[in-house]
Amino acid sequence: MSAQNSPESTAATARAVTMEKLVSLCKRRGLVFPTSDIYGGLGSTFDYGPLGVELKRNVKEAWWRDMVQGRSDVIGLDSAILQHPRTWEASGHLQNFTDPLVDCKSCKQRFRADHLEGTRCPACGGELTAARQFNLMFKTFMGPLEDTANTVYLRPETAQGIFANFANVIDTQRVKLPFGVAQTGKSFRNEITPGNFIFRTREFEQMEMEFFVQPEAIEEQRWFDYWVAERFNWYVKYGIARDHLRMRPHAQDELSHYSRGTTDVEFLYPFGWGELEGIARRGSYDLDQHAQFSGKDLTYFDEEAKARYRPWVIEPAAGVDRAMLAFMIDAYDEDVVEDETRIVLRLDPRLAPIKVAVYPLLRKGGHPEKAQEIRATLSRYVTTAYDQAGSIGRRYRRQDEIGTPLGVTVDHQTIEDGTVTIRDRDTTEQQRVPIEGLVGTVIERIGWYR
Ligand code: GAP
CA distance 427 to 404: 13
pLDDT reported for residue 249: 97
Closest Cα to atom 18 of ligand 1: 319
Residue 176: inside a domain, yes or no? yes
Contact predicate 85/141, CB 8 Å = no
Whether 262 has a pLDDT exceeding 60, the answer reads yes
Instruction: Judge whether 7 lies within some domain.
Output: yes
Which H or E element spans position 446? helix 438-446
Residue type, 2: S
Same domain as 275, residue 399: no
- What pLDDT score was predicted for residue 9? 43
Atom of ligand 1 nearest to the CA of 275: 14
Q: Helix, strand, or coil here: 180?
A: strand
What CATH number corresponds to the domain at position 256?
3.30.930.10
Residue 31: CB atoms within 10 Å: 27
312, 328, 344 — which closes off a domain? 328
The model's pLDDT over 73-111, given as tens digits with 9 standing for 90+, comes to: 999 999 999 999 999 999 999 999 998 999 999 999 999
Q: Is 2 helix (H, G, I), strand (E, B) or coil?
A: coil
Asked if residue 413 and residue 291 are part of one domain, the reply reads no
> Does residue 431 lie in a domain region?
yes
Index of the ligand 1 atom closest to the CA of residue 201: 24
Instruction: State the Cα–Cα distance between residues 251 and 315, nearest whole angstrom.
Output: 18
**Ligand 1 site-directed mutation target among 206, 240, 266, most atoms within 8 Å of CB:** 206
Q: Which amino acid is at 436?
A: E
Do 162 and 279 have their domain in common?
A: yes
| CA gap 208, 230 in Å, rounded | 14
Crossing angle of helices 50-64 and 320-331, in 10° steps, is 110
**Residue 198 to residues 13, 265, 279, 288, 309, Cα–Cα distance (Å):** 20, 17, 21, 34, 40
Please give the average per-residue pLDDT across 310-325, as a whole number.
98
Q: In this predicted model, what pLDDT tens digit does every residue of 333-366 receive, in sequence order?
A: 999 998 999 999 999 999 999 999 999 999 999 9
Predicted pLDDT of residue 10: 45
Give the pLDDT confidence of 397-408 residue by residue, as tens digits: 999 999 999 999
Looking at the structure, tell me whether residues 203 and 288 fall in a common domain.
yes
**Element holding 302 (H helix, E strand):** strand 300-302
- Greatest Cα pair distance, the chain, in angstroms, is 79
Q: Whose CA is nearest to atom 16 of ligand 1?
A: 319
For 177-196, what is the mean pLDDT? Answer: 96
What is the Å distance from ligand 1's center to 136 Cα? 12
Q: Output the CA 276–ligand 1 centroid distance in Å.
A: 8
Other CB atoms within 10 A of residue 143 CB: 9
- Does one domain contain both 247 and 320? yes
Output the CA 225–ligand 1 centroid distance in Å.
20
pLDDT at 4: 42
In a domain, 138, yes or no: no
Q: How far is the CA of 17 from the centre of ligand 1 (A)?
A: 24
Atom in ligand 1 nearest the alpha carbon of residue 205: 26
Give 122-167 as a DSSP string: TTT--BBPPPEEEE---EEESSS--SGGGEEEB-S-SHHHHHHTHH
Cβ(342)–Cβ(334) below 8 Å? yes
Domain that holds residue 364: 354-446
**Tens digit of each residue's pLDDT (9 = 90 or more) over 108-144:** 999 999 889 989 999 999 999 999 999 999 999 999 9
Residue 112: helix, strand or coil by DSSP? strand
The closest-lying atom of ligand 1 relative to the alpha carbon of residue 317 is 9
Asked if 359 and 275 sit in the same domain, the reply is: no
Asked if residue 322 has pLDDT above 80, the reply is: yes
For residue 283, the CA-to-ligand 1 centroid distance in Å is 19
- The answer on pLDDT for 288 being more than 80 is yes
Atom number of ligand 1 nearest to Cα 156: 4
Taking the CA of residue 258 as reference, the ligand 1 atom at the shortest distance is 2
Residue 1 above 60 pLDDT? no
Tell the residue nearest (CA) to atom 15 of ligand 1.
319
pLDDT of 264 above 60:
yes
pTM: 0.94
**What's the rounded mean pLDDT across residues 4-21?**
66
Instruction: Mark whether 366 and 312 lie in a shared domain.
Output: no
148 CA to centre of ligand 1 in angstroms: 28
Torsion angles phi and psi, residue 147, rounded to 5: -130, 175
**Measuring from each residue's beta carbon to the nearest atom of ligand 1, which residues come in under 6 Å?**
157, 159, 189, 191, 200-201, 204, 206, 208, 275-278, 315, 317-319, 321-322
Q: pLDDT value at position 2?
A: 40
248: in domain? yes
Find residue 200's DSSP bridge partners: 195
Give the total number of structural domains in the chain. Answer: 2
Q: Which of 275, 279, 281, 282 to mutate to test the pocket of ligand 1 (most atoms within 8 A of CB)?
A: 275
Confidence of residue 12 (pLDDT cuts 50, 70, 90): very low
337 in any annotated domain: no
CA 76, 82, 84, 86 torsion-angle sign: positive
Residues 432 and 377 in one domain: yes
Q: Is residue 230 located within the same domain as residue 373?
A: no
135 in a structural domain? no
Q: How confident is the model at residue 449 (pLDDT cuts 50, 70, 90)?
A: confident
Q: How many helices (H) and strands (E) does the chain have?
A: 13, 23
Q: Closest Cα to atom 20, ligand 1: which residue?
A: 200
In the predicted structure, residue 444 carries a pLDDT above the cut 90: yes
Question: Does the pLDDT at position 319 exceed 90?
Answer: yes
* CA nearest ligand 1 atom 8, residue: 317
Question: In this predicted model, what pLDDT tens digit does every residue of 231-252 receive, in sequence order?
Answer: 999 999 999 999 999 999 999 9
**In what order do the strands lie in the sheet containing 132-135?**
110-112, 98-103, 132-135
Q: What is the mean pLDDT of the chain?
A: 95
Residue 346 lies in a domain: no
Residue 239 makes CB contacts below 8 A (sequence gap 6+) with 327, 330, 331, 346, 347, 348, 351
Q: Kind and range of the H or E element at 28?
A: helix 19-28
Is the pLDDT score of 3 beyond 70? no
Strand partners, 334: 343
